[in-house]
Structure 1
């Protein structure tokens, strides 16, 4: 797997203002959740899929970023090599709004868009 290595001096994932606002609205609906946690898991026909969870706190070893005063992002350390360099945006596509992951490490996507592979 040839992916970008993690550099602790820069933020691994960029989150657009639209995505931060989306996370803020989602967190406001959850009584115990105070942060967003990003990871990937093996899934689908291509290899990996993104997992975005609303959480109270990160897990031990998670990489922490404050996206704003009231929105925090935790990244699973085992997923860093796959997600480093990714931009997370919240976009309107047709009549649907959705999170969009622009990942320079992704090489192939399945037809339905649920999974991706990296080299």
Structure 2
């Protein structure tokens, strides 16, 4: 809690909700345990897709709305927003999202008229 900004924000959020410092630390331990569990269950040894924020940049560059991307993944736009902002990590979902964006990019390239050089 002394060095990590993300941890400081989390504890500040919990204390602003009316929790004591001791309760906030307990919540922090649970949060860390959930993150560790996700990494243990999905280590993704074959290399990761770009993370959420990079995927959001790709999506915006392609002029695809968050709602459209979420529909393509079969999830809510809010859940996709959590992934894009780094509040949720799932290497499998990030891989699916990356593949969806690559597929959309290929479709876009096929529909654009070819320019003569």
* TM-score, structure 2 normalization: 0.27
Which structure: larger Rg?
2
Q: Which has the higher strand share?
A: 1
* TM-score, structure 1 normalization: 0.26
Q: Which has the higher helix share?
A: 2
